[in-house]
Structure 1
Amino acid sequence: MNTLCSNCGITMNFYASGNLFLYNEQCRRKPIEECMFMGPDSYVLPYDNLETLYINLESCSSKLIDEGWKCCISASDVPGEYLSIEDFLNKMKYRKMIEVIQKGDFVSYLQPIIDLENFELFAYESLLRSADPSQNLNPGELFIAASLTGFHSMLDQRARRTAIESRAVHIEKGVKSFINFLPSTIYNPEFCLKHTFSIVEKYGVSPEDLVFEVVETEKIEDVNHLKSVLDVYKREGMKVALDDVGSGFATIEMLSLLQPDYVKIDRSYISECDKNIGKQHFLKDVIHTARGLGISVLAEGIERKEELTFCKEIGVKYAQGYLIGKPDLNAQKPFVPAFN
């Protein structure tokens, strides 16, 4: 089996001017006149502005898609790799985000996590940001764009690398790092995670200080594959966590199957939990199940002292949120409100 994966190494060049090449294999079997829907230069169209090119191509995209056309752009008279019209338009639409991903110019913002038994610092979660503040990229939108354009594996790998590099500089040994990852980008965990493990070794980071946290916008369909990914992390001496329990695929029933070290409760169950009986029942059920499996529970999204107090009283082990500390480029000490 060939384990070489091209998903982390794809590239896309956006030339400010050049030629748009159109290709339709079916049209080769017809007289050329039947295929000329845009005039005599229907196969090679010069352009000098990417935005205008995108608008013009989008305006006739339905016809192009229906007729099975493919396209590409090049700065020369030689075409590159042809893409479907849908793929090409997505890459054009999100080209600024793709350029950021390809450059890999990221930093990690760090948000503190505290131990509710003693209110001491336990960990930081690493949150991806562009190194250029003027970009002002929303990480969620960045990952959506990466998924739509085929750059999600590259982005996920570079996000993990950035988190590990940042940890080596800003976080003391013994304080854990929660690092997000997308299971759908890891096709073969034995192969795809080698890069991450090499970065860990390069920077002398202790594996036991790393917690790799499953985040996924779409539902996980192959649970066995996810388990195999988590098992590889665990084998290397690292911890694993499930994010957003109570939302999406991360249900209580998954805890027994996947056996994570930590579960993070979706913030929708934490907000106003001190007032909402339904949320309180859910939280107590999660804690009861997790305790039976030896899993530690972490509440995220805590913004009020009352929420923090309630979570501590019912046995939540760890907590994070704006009340405790906002994400920052440097490892800021957590704030703990005074308790009477």
Structure 2
Amino acid sequence: MNSIAEILASKAALTAAAADTRRQLSDIVRTNNLNAVFQPILALSNATVLGFEGLIRGPCDSMLHTPIALFNVARDNDMVAEVEYLCRRIVLDTFAAKDGNGKLFINVSPDILVAQGAVSGETLRYIKRFGLNPQQVVIELTENTPGIDYHQLREAVNHYRSMGFEVAIDDLGEGFSGLRLWSELRPNYVKIDKHFVRGVHADPLKLQFVRSIQEIAKKAGARVIAEGIEEEAELRAIRGIGIAYAQGFYIGRPQSEPIFEVPMHIHDELGSEQPQQLQISANLESLITRIDPVAPESTHIEVYDRFVENPEIASIAVVLHGTPVGVIGRQDLIALFARPFHRELYGHRPCEYFMDSAPLIVESSCSPMDLSELILQSAPHHLSIGFIVTENGKYIGMGSGHDLLKLITQLQIRAAKYANPLTLLPGNVPINEHIGALLKMRTPFVACYCDLDNFKPFNDVYGYRLGDDIIRATGRFLHEACDPDLDFLGHIGGDDFIILFQSPDWEQRCNRVLEYLNEALPSFYNETDRYRGGIEAEDRHGCSVFFPFTSLSIGAVVIDPEHFASHYEVAAAATVAKKQAKKISGHCLFVERRGGRESMRFSTENALSE
């Protein structure tokens, strides 16, 4: 047991150490002895740098060099607000001094944002002093502040938004409050915690989590940033999911100079076309009209004159320093001027007075189908007034709802052209295109070739109409087993289907189909044949043979894109697996695992017929 003297000595040493770290912290704050570093955030759609996260470092020879140590000591000494303001000022000052372009993400604690008051304008004063503009700056909120007053925080965030700032949530998934924070604040960006990104390509649970976040973000109009990218495989996986932006050591480490040059290996990896999960795919390029925007200080009369000079223009974007802040529709402005004395009263006022300050803004990487969903979920006037298209947050043009509907109609016509007329599922052309796109992206998937057993005898005895009903029912069950955002179902022809699975639980999905069909298919037979368990029919040699109920054989191949050069090779491998499955009687899943792993068989004949 320690003596009292030893205990007192230990306490004295701890007190002296605490006093020393407090002195170091006070010296750092007094002398502004902090350094800013910048880590790039990559846009995956075109391999360009969206902007940077501004990070802070203490003196190199100090125990307070890392931000964790710095803020731990600041917290112990009730200096968090003072240190955070200093960090914010140094990051902004350094970024401006280095002629920083693009977005700058600055870390802000929610409790500090609320405590300093939504009207203080200190950050805005910094920005103006350093020659930056609010549209460049993204306030990145951490989610680890317990007991936050969401109402106060929402008011503070809305105040910053009214000045032109954007908002991001950092480390989504690290704590329990992230989703609540997302719901309350509706941020422009959501950063996924690096825990869920590291090893995402090899962890089905992490993969599903990231996909779920991406799906919520699409509905909420937010853009997702995956943090902690350290491997090429992680970058491929998050891009394959459709994540817009990425950050991590594999892309670029934090450094004192903001570097906009993307490494060549990143360019090479992102140069190939990303496969669309939707069966109807295209991009917005054909919808963009390059219409010169107006500035917020432009008068209503100046905007009206633009409409008179260009009768084909339905709306004009209002843009400040490259960032869209509103839109003005032709019909709305004409209606305003048609009212008595309104032209005289409002004609010379800035157009920001009348503009729609909540326009529909989409990135050029957005798919037409996703855009149509956003329009349907938005206010009705967005269909007529149109939408603004940006690239890395910067205005590039306008798009109209009419053109969007026209494009979607053309895509649907093309999809119908190559669809199987019986099930309306995609036929051979889109199947091959989808396989080719997955291989080009080097995205792992599972090809499942599905074929009905004993179908021809049933067709011969019961006729093609009931045979068509079985094919359609099979197509429905297969469709219900697929995740529409991940998996692709095609109808090769006759009673043959193919599924391209990216769902991590694909085996369970296949087994559910076999269970459903085991229960459903006997109902297509008459009572006598159901009692007998099948039908008597002639085989290919004209001999009378007993055929059991129609069943489904699934031959599955786990596809590693490194080992397959084309859709021909994938089709050949799936055909071999299907033939192996058909050798096993009853409903069957046969899995061929390449790369040295043994094949696995699963039959529902016994388990499902009891």
TM-score in terms of structure 2 length: 0.40
The equivalent of 1:303 in structure 2 is 230
The equivalent of 2:30 in structure 1 is 102
The equivalent of 1:115 in structure 2 is 43
The equivalent of 2:79 in structure 1 is 151
Separation in 2, partners of 1:150, 1:170: 32
> Once the 2 structures are TM-superposed, how far is the Cα of residue 90 of structure 1 from its aligned partner?
4.8
Q: Is the 8 A contact 1:252 1:286 kept in 2?
A: no
Q: Is the 8 A contact 1:106 1:162 kept in 2?
A: yes
Amino acid paired to 1:279? K
Return the index of the structure with the highest Cα Rg.
2
Superposed CA offset, 1:145-204 (max 9, x none): 11110110111101111111111122443x100111112223142344x22211111112
User: Is the counterpart of residue 256 in structure 1 residue 174 in structure 2?
Assistant: no
Superposed CA offset, 1:260-312 (max 9, x none): 11000000000000010111111111111111110000001100011001111
User: Is the counterpart of residue 322 in structure 1 residue 242 in structure 2?
Assistant: no
Superposed CA offset, 1:205-263 (max 9, x none): 02101001012544353222222222222111011100000111443343222111100
Separation in 1, partners of 2:250, 2:17: 42
The equivalent of 2:70 in structure 1 is 142
Q: Is the 8 A contact 2:39 2:53 kept in 1?
A: yes
* SS, match of residue 57 in structure 2: strand
Q: Is the 8 A contact 1:124 1:176 kept in 2?
A: yes
Identity percentage over the alignment? 26
Separation in 1, partners of 2:183, 2:236: 28
Q: How many residues align?
A: 258
Separation in 1, partners of 2:253, 2:245: 16
Separation in 2, partners of 1:259, 1:151: 30
Q: Among 103, 108, 112, which residue is 1:185 paired with?
A: 112
> Once the 2 structures are TM-superposed, how far is the Cα of residue 98 of structure 1 from its aligned partner?
3.0
Q: Is the 8 A contact 1:245 1:252 kept in 2?
A: yes
Separation in 2, partners of 1:275, 1:263: 23
The equivalent of 1:290 in structure 2 is 217
TM-score in terms of structure 1 length: 0.70
> Once the 2 structures are TM-superposed, how far is the Cα of residue 108 of structure 1 from its aligned partner?
0.8
Q: Is the 8 A contact 1:265 1:298 kept in 2?
A: yes
Deviating above 6 A after TM superposition, structure 1's stretches of 4 or more consecutive aligned residues are none
Pairwise CA RMSD: 2.4
The equivalent of 1:12 in structure 2 is none
User: Is the counterpart of residue 209 in structure 1 residue 136 in structure 2?
Assistant: yes
Give unpaired runs (5+ residues) of structure 1. Answer: 1-54, 62-85
* SS, match of residue 122 in structure 1: strand
The equivalent of 1:47 in structure 2 is none
Q: Is the 8 A contact 1:114 1:320 kept in 2?
A: yes
Q: Among 273, 278, 300, which residue is 2:200 paired with?
A: 273
Q: Is the 8 A contact 1:113 1:334 kept in 2?
A: no
The equivalent of 2:420 in structure 1 is none
User: Is the counterpart of residue 243 in structure 1 residue 170 in structure 2?
Assistant: yes
Q: Among 2, 8, 11, which residue is 1:58 paired with?
A: 11
Q: Is the 8 A contact 1:182 1:215 kept in 2?
A: yes
* SS, match of residue 191 in structure 2: strand
Give unpaired runs (5+ residues) of structure 2. Answer: 1-7, 270-439, 441-610
